[in-house]
Amino acid sequence: MAREITYRDALREALREEMYRDERVFLMGEDIGAYGGSYAVTRGFLQEFGPERVRDTPIAELGIVGLGVGAAIGGLRPVVELMTINFSLLAMDQIVNHLAKIYYMFNGQFTAPVVVRTVEGFGQLAATHSQFFENYFAYVPGLRVVAPAVPKDAKGFLKAAVRGNDPVIFIEHSLIYRNRGEVPDGEDFVLPLEGAEVRREGQDVTIVSWLRGYYLALGAAEELARAGIECEVIDLRVLRPLDVETIVRSVQKTNRLVIVEEGWKSFGVGAEIAAAVQERALDYLDAPILRVASVEVPMPYARNLERLVVPNKDRVIEAVREVLYQRLPAPLTR
């Protein structure tokens, strides 16, 4: 059996169930308790679980993650929250130099199974609060980096992350918390923290994306279908480990690939996917791999300018037509 719930409720269920299942699980982050969480994911948790297990912290991201690392080594199962991914930069030393390396550097003697929940997105928040940094984490061996787009994955991944033995960077998106989707019943619904998924089949073009980009891809595919173009839409779901195989299999069928990402194009996740796909499927490609990404400027505040920066459905459609060599010719100028 399954129910339709929001992405936010999927996260809430995952956390609640794991907190009831295992007393070692606790939450720590800025404004997650009395305030209820910036995106209301932990609303009511302080009352339900008490201040030992739902810990409001100072605004000290390095400390939040660092205490998580120590608490995990000490036998707990911390789920720490970085209010937005922009602030994760302050915690980078703990994440990259310690969290990601402890298992390897100390020869497998112990692990630090910390779940770092964070969220990216935009909405007229200007340059320092509208960034997409999943590539920073996906670069680092030792981290698992998940970016669920649908409620089912949000729940299954979060529960798996809490139960697993590796550090997990769990990236949410502020503009999809209200999206709804089916989630299987049962407290033991967990998903492996790996693997992309083909969510829409088609034979003309493959579109790969994740988080909000997945919804843009889906919208573009629906519109293109009305014009007789069938896109295969892959939800990447997990950035590390990267499931190249699923993308390659699709490209072997469609011979064309468009990647939709909200981060800046240069040195991004899309660049990695394009490189990995051409290594394995160059002969199958009938067109260059295109990336739809953000314009490379610090995010401006003004509504009209912000809209110009981030990918939208029309830009995805345009890219699909381009890899099909169907792009309308530019109007002749006199």
Which x/- pattern, by CB under 8 A, does the window 60-99 give for other proteins?
Answer: x-xx-xxxxxxxxxxxx-x--------------xx--xx-
- Binding window for other proteins (CB under 8 A); candidates: 8-16, 59-67, 293-301, 316-324: 59-67
The reply to whether 228 sits near other proteins by the rule CB under 8 A is: no
Q: Which of 6, 38, 87, 111 binds other proteins (CB under 8 A)?
A: 111
Nearer to other proteins, 33 or 121 (CB): 33
- CB nearer to other proteins: pick between 67 and 169: 67
Based on the number of CB atoms within 10 Å of its own CB, is 58 exposed (0-12), middle (13-18) or buried (19 or more)?
Answer: exposed
Q: Which of 29, 37, 113, 270 binds other proteins (CB under 8 A)?
A: 113
Q: Which residues pair with 169 in a beta bridge?
A: 116, 145
CB of 107 to other proteins, least distance (A): 4
Interacting span for other proteins (CB under 8 A) from 101-109, 148-156, 211-219, 281-289: 101-109
Query: Total residues contacting other proteins (rule CB under 8 A)?
Result: 55
Collect all residues with Cβ–Cβ distance below 8 Å to 198 and sequence separation of at least 6. 232, 233, 234, 246, 250
Q: Is 61 a catalytic residue?
A: yes
Residue 175 binds other proteins (CB under 8 A): no
Q: Is 141 in the site for other proteins (CB under 8 A)?
A: yes
Minimum CB distance to other proteins smaller for 93 or for 314: 93
* Alpha carbons within 13 A on the beta-carbon side of 216: 26
Q: Which 151-170 positions form the footprint of other proteins (CB under 8 A)?
A: 164-166
Contact set for other proteins, span 37-56 (CB under 8 A):
52, 55
Q: Does the footprint of other proteins cover residue 26 (CB under 8 A)?
A: yes
Which of residues 71 and 317 has its CB atom nearest to other proteins in the complex? 71
Active-site residue, selected from the candidate residues 17, 18, 129, 173: 129
Query: Any catalytic annotation for residue 173?
Result: no
Q: Is 203 in the site for other proteins (CB under 8 A)?
A: no
Using CB under 8 A, list all residues that contact other proteins: 24, 26, 52, 55, 57-58, 60, 62-63, 65-76, 78, 93-94, 97-98, 102-111, 113, 141-142, 144, 164-166, 192-196, 238, 241-246
Catalytic sites, residue numbers: 61, 129
